[in-house]
Protein backbone atom coordinates (compact mmCIF):
# COMPACT_ATOMS: atom_id res chain seq x y z
CA UNK A 1 0.00 0.00 0.00
CA UNK A 2 1.10 3.56 -0.63
CA UNK A 3 2.53 5.54 2.27
CA UNK A 4 -0.09 7.67 4.01
CA UNK A 5 2.40 10.57 4.25
CA UNK A 6 1.93 11.51 0.61
CA UNK A 7 -0.55 14.30 0.06
CA UNK A 8 -2.11 15.23 -3.21
CA UNK A 9 -4.28 13.54 -5.74
CA UNK A 10 -4.35 10.12 -7.24
CA UNK A 11 -1.69 10.87 -9.85
CA UNK A 12 0.87 11.78 -7.17
CA UNK A 13 0.17 8.59 -5.23
CA UNK A 14 0.41 6.46 -8.39
CA UNK A 15 3.73 8.09 -9.28
CA UNK A 16 5.08 7.37 -5.79
CA UNK A 17 3.88 3.76 -5.99
CA UNK A 18 5.66 3.32 -9.34
CA UNK A 19 8.93 4.72 -7.94
CA UNK A 20 8.77 2.57 -4.79
CA UNK A 21 8.14 -0.57 -6.83
CA UNK A 22 11.10 0.27 -9.09
CA UNK A 23 13.50 0.82 -6.19
CA UNK A 24 12.47 -2.35 -4.29
CA UNK A 25 12.70 -4.86 -7.13
CA UNK A 26 15.74 -7.03 -7.84
CA UNK A 27 18.01 -6.24 -10.80
CA UNK A 28 20.61 -8.19 -12.78
CA UNK A 29 24.18 -7.93 -11.49
CA UNK A 30 26.68 -6.49 -13.99
CA UNK A 31 29.41 -8.84 -12.70
CA UNK A 32 27.81 -12.25 -12.04
CA UNK A 33 24.64 -11.64 -14.12
CA UNK A 34 22.31 -13.05 -11.46
CA UNK A 35 19.10 -11.30 -10.52
CA UNK A 36 20.21 -10.38 -7.02
CA UNK A 37 21.04 -6.66 -6.99
CA UNK A 38 19.18 -4.70 -4.32
CA UNK A 39 19.28 -1.04 -3.26
CA UNK A 40 21.31 -0.45 -0.10
CA UNK A 41 21.04 3.35 0.12
CA UNK A 42 20.28 6.19 -2.23
CA UNK A 43 22.48 5.55 -5.27
CA UNK A 44 24.27 2.56 -3.70
CA UNK A 45 23.50 -0.92 -5.03
CA UNK A 46 24.80 -4.28 -3.80
CA UNK A 47 24.69 -7.76 -5.31
CA UNK A 48 23.67 -10.28 -2.67
CA UNK A 49 25.26 -13.10 -4.66
CA UNK A 50 28.80 -11.92 -5.43
CA UNK A 51 28.96 -8.97 -3.00
CA UNK A 52 29.89 -6.28 -5.51
CA UNK A 53 28.86 -2.76 -4.41
CA UNK A 54 28.47 -0.06 -7.03
CA UNK A 55 26.95 3.36 -7.57
CA UNK A 56 23.90 3.88 -9.71
CA UNK A 57 20.75 5.91 -9.86
CA UNK A 58 18.58 6.73 -6.87
CA UNK A 59 15.81 4.30 -7.83
CA UNK A 60 17.48 1.94 -10.33
CA UNK A 61 21.06 0.73 -10.76
CA UNK A 62 21.39 2.37 -14.18
CA UNK A 63 20.41 5.80 -15.37
CA UNK A 64 19.56 6.82 -18.94
CA UNK A 65 22.74 8.93 -19.07
CA UNK A 66 24.84 6.03 -17.78
CA UNK A 67 23.39 3.71 -20.40
CA UNK A 68 24.31 6.13 -23.19
CA UNK A 69 27.83 6.59 -21.77
CA UNK A 70 28.37 2.82 -21.54
CA UNK A 71 27.24 2.38 -25.14
CA UNK A 72 29.63 5.11 -26.34
CA UNK A 73 32.57 3.55 -24.46
CA UNK A 74 31.70 0.13 -25.87
CA UNK A 75 31.53 1.52 -29.42
CA UNK A 76 34.89 3.28 -28.98
CA UNK A 77 36.51 0.06 -27.74
CA UNK A 78 35.13 -1.85 -30.74
CA UNK A 79 36.36 0.76 -33.20
CA UNK A 80 39.82 0.77 -31.59
CA UNK A 81 40.15 -3.02 -32.02
CA UNK A 82 39.17 -2.89 -35.68
Q: Nearest 5 degrees, angle CA 37-CA 39-CA 61?
A: 65
Q: What is the pLDDT of residue 1?
A: 54
Q: What is the pLDDT of residue 51?
A: 94
Confidence of residue 9 (pLDDT cuts 50, 70, 90): confident
**Domains in the chain with CATH codes:** 28-81 (2.20.25.30)
Which of 57, 60, 55 lies closest to 22 in space, CA to CA?
60
Task: Report how far residue 79's alpha carbon sits from residue 31's, in angstroms, rounded to the nearest whole number.
Answer: 24
Task: Report how far residue 66's alpha carbon sits from residue 20's, in angstroms, rounded to the nearest whole number.
Answer: 21
* pTM score, whole prediction: 0.73
Please provide the size of the chain in residues.
82
**pLDDT at position 32 over 70:** yes
Handedness of CA 32, 34, 40, 44 (dihedral sign): positive
The residue with greater pLDDT, 51 or 1, is 51
Amino acid sequence: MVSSGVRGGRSVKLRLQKIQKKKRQKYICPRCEKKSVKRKETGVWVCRSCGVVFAGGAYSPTTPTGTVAARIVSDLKKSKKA
